[in-house]
Every structure is written in structure tokens, then in C-alpha cells.
Amino acid sequence: MLGTLTRYLRFMGYDTMSANSLSRGNTREDTLLLEIATRDDRILLTRDRELARRGGARAVCIASEDIMEQVRQIADLGLIEPGIRMTRCSICNARLRPATAREIRETRYAPGSTGGREFFWCPTCRKLYWMGSHGDNLKRRLKELLPP
């Protein structure tokens, strides 16, 4: 439901859990999500109005289907400070660390020219990250979204 928002929040450095990480078909999924939010001191972001109502102060009902409007909504609530931080894996949420020269060299999708760039490595997914055109585009979109 909010998979793209999950990835964006991770690019912004937020420790973000997704309901997709729970086992499928769990009939208690909503209750489990609320329990996790309480136990781990998390805010539950959902498009499900009833779930948000049940969550009370621990939940936010995301109004829009548009990703940038979703980011704006939670920023306006003071829950996040938008900006690219490259500290979390966008796939698994693990903490990124600086990539080694070997990891960069052995990654098939790494850019041909590595000069002047910082590279980050996810030790769990074994994925390489760097600020390229995708990151620059995301930075620009966030800047346009929220005036200084």
C-alpha cells in the first residue's frame, strides 16, 4: 500500500518497517501492526482509515496516493525532515556502510567513472548505493516540494 513511501523514507534515513515484511495472510495483521508500533515506539502510516482510527495517536492516515503529497503530509505533521541521507538500504532497511573499493569494482551496475562519488554498501542485500542521477532527481523533487 505504501511501498514507495517506505523506500523514500529509507532514502531519507528513517528506520522504516513495512507491513510487507510480515507473513502473508495473517488475519491479525492490523492488530500486529498496532502492537509493533506501540512496542517499538513507531508511528504507523497507513491508507486504511479504520486502522488509523484504531491506532489513535500512534497512527497517521495517509490521504493521497501521490508519493510527494504523502511526503508533504508527514513532513507537515513534523514527523520527518525531508532530505537524502543514504544511511539505510531502500530494500531491507539495514544500515548502510561505506563501500570498499572491491565491492564497487565487483558490482556490475556500478558507474564506469567513480571519481568524486561516495559509495555505500548494504551488508544484508549486498547492494551498492551512490548519489547519481536518481538521487539528484529525488533531492530536486524534495526541494521543490518543501520551500526553505
Residues 21, 79: Cα–Cα separation, whole Å: 22
Dump pLDDT digits (tens) for 125-139: 999 999 888 888 888
Residues 82, 71: Cα–Cα separation, whole Å: 8
Q: What is the pLDDT of residue 25?
A: 62
Residues 28, 12: Cα–Cα separation, whole Å: 30
CB neighbour burial string for 24-54, b if at least 16 within 10 angstroms, e if fewer? eeeeeebeebbeebeeeeeebbbebeebbeb
Q: What is the pLDDT of residue 138?
A: 87
Residues 123, 127: Cα–Cα separation, whole Å: 8
Query: pTM above 0.85?
Result: yes
Dump pLDDT digits (tens) for 15-35: 999 887 776 666 688 899 999
> Is the confidence at residue 109, as pLDDT, over 70?
yes
> Is the confidence at residue 142, as pLDDT, over 90?
no
Residues 118, 120: Cα–Cα separation, whole Å: 7
Q: What is the pLDDT of residue 27?
A: 64
